[in-house]
Amino acid sequence: MEKTDILSLDLQELQSALEKMGEKKFRAKQIFQWLHVKRVLDFDKMTDISIQLRECLKENFCINGLFMQKRLASCIDNTVKYLYRLHDGNFVETVLMQYHYGNSLCISTQVGCKMGCRFCASAIAGFVRNLEPSEMLMQIYETEKNSGVKISNLVLMGIGEPLDNFDNVMKFLNILSHKDGNNFSLRHVSLSTCGLVPKIYELAGLKLGLTLCISLHSADNSARSEIMPVNCAYNIDELVKACKYYIAETGRRITFEYAVIDNVNSSDKDADKLADLLRGINCHVNLIPVNKVKERNYRTAKNAVAEFAGRLEKRGINATVRRTLGSDIEAACGQLRRDALK
């Protein structure tokens, strides 16, 4: 019989698993706290649990570890990038960014990605599988252990499309925010999507309080379809309609991500079109220069981002120019994993 991945069980599931084994329900909370609060990943070290039950746990459950394959620390800022090996030999990337207001962790949600965005290194290496809730949690636990810092903000912006692994991501968030576990506030979580419209409606219904980020990158349908194949399935009109629904339903402001790319989306006309599209929507625009990906020729001219921001602001749209962190350590998602595969 295959053992159950215990870190992927929410408290309720753990309770019913224990009841099925003929154990008392309250034991589940004890074990849940050993795993998620004390972060003890060895049944033998759960000292207030009888040896008999520990043996029983070992027979039925496994605790899948994460192994640090590579750690790259930036010399220019405090960014640290981890390449983690999963129990089956696959790799994922996790990036720790330290700001004056707290520590932010960017985690992966899939091994690879199906979405095929042209400018993204994760897409180049292809899709392998979804991550389990435990594998998302372990990126946090391992990084906190390795770095000695406490994560205050979480961004689901690493490798993978979180809404394409919807159920596991929701379960991960449920375990992470559970009051008997990490009690992590979902107000400090940002989830980024390339625009899987039906899942945006589903997410809105859950009212989790997290910040939804939309990777927009163009306000023009034909330009967006060129760089983001997902736009052929759900175009900009459908996407913006879903965003408006999300805002109305949750009362939360949306962030639009926009990588300014020469000859793709950086002209004055592009900025005007974006301003027209977003006018009146409770949102914020994050502008970034495109991260260089070896296989692609996308570039951002010096000053292009600032100029684009200026043009937007003149048209009443607030935009933040995001700093590129860890530019010396290939912090763009997917680059380390792709190199490890070579």
If one asks whether residue 231 binds ligand SAH (CB under 6 A), the answer comes out as: no
**Residue choice 104, 139, 250, 291 for contact with ligand SAH (CB under 6 A):** 291
**What residues from 28 to 47 belong to the interface with ligand SAH (CB under 6 A)?**
none
**Residue choice 77, 161, 270, 330 for contact with ligand SAH (CB under 6 A):** 161
What 3 state SS string does the chain have?
CCCEEHHHCCHHHHHHHHHHCCCCCHHHHHHHHHHHCCCCCCHHHCCCCCHHHHHHHHHHEECCCCEEEEEEECCCCCCEEEEEECCCCCEEEEEEEEECCEEEEECCCEECCCCCCCCCHHHHCCCCEECCHHHHHHHHHHHHHHHCCCCCEEEECCCCCHHHHHHHHHHHHHHHHCCCCCCCCHHHEEEEECCCHHHHHHHHHHCCCCEEEEECCCCCHHHHHHHCCHHHHCCHHHHHHHHHHHHHHHCCCEEEEEEECCCCCCCHHHHHHHHHHHCCCCEEEEEEECCCCCCCCCCCCCCHHHHHHHHHHHCCCCEEECCCCCHHHCCCCCHHHHHHHC
**Residue choice 41, 120, 136, 196 for contact with ligand SAH (CB under 6 A):** 120
Task: Output 43 or 84, the one with its CB closest to ligand SAH.
Answer: 84
Which segment (22-30, 34-42, 69-77, 288-296) binds ligand SAH by CB under 6 A? 288-296
Task: Output 11 or 228, the one with its CB closest to ligand SAH.
Answer: 228
If one asks whether residue 18 binds ligand SAH (CB under 6 A), the answer comes out as: no
Task: Output 160 or 181, the one with its CB closest to ligand SAH.
Answer: 160
If one asks whether residue 243 binds ligand SAH (CB under 6 A), the answer comes out as: no
If one asks whether residue 333 binds ligand SAH (CB under 6 A), the answer comes out as: yes
Which segment (33-41, 70-78, 113-121, 247-255) binds ligand SAH by CB under 6 A? 113-121
If one asks whether residue 119 binds ligand SAH (CB under 6 A), the answer comes out as: yes
If one asks whether residue 157 binds ligand SAH (CB under 6 A), the answer comes out as: yes
Alpha-carbon separation of residue 186 from 206, 208, 239, 247, 302 (angstroms) = 12, 7, 23, 16, 36
Q: How far is the CB of 78 from ligand SAH (least distance, A)?
A: 20
Distance separating alpha carbons of residues 29 and 37, to the nearest angstrom: 11
* Site size toward ligand SAH, by CB under 6 A: 18
Q: How far is the CB of 73 from ligand SAH (least distance, A)?
A: 21
Catalytic residues: 93, 333
Q: How far is the CB of 255 from ligand SAH (least distance, A)?
A: 10
If one asks whether residue 93 binds ligand SAH (CB under 6 A), the answer comes out as: no
**Residue choice 79, 139, 192, 265 for contact with ligand SAH (CB under 6 A):** 192
Interface residues with ligand SAH (CB under 6 A) are 115, 117, 119-120, 157, 161, 192-194, 215, 257, 259, 288, 290-291, 293, 332-333
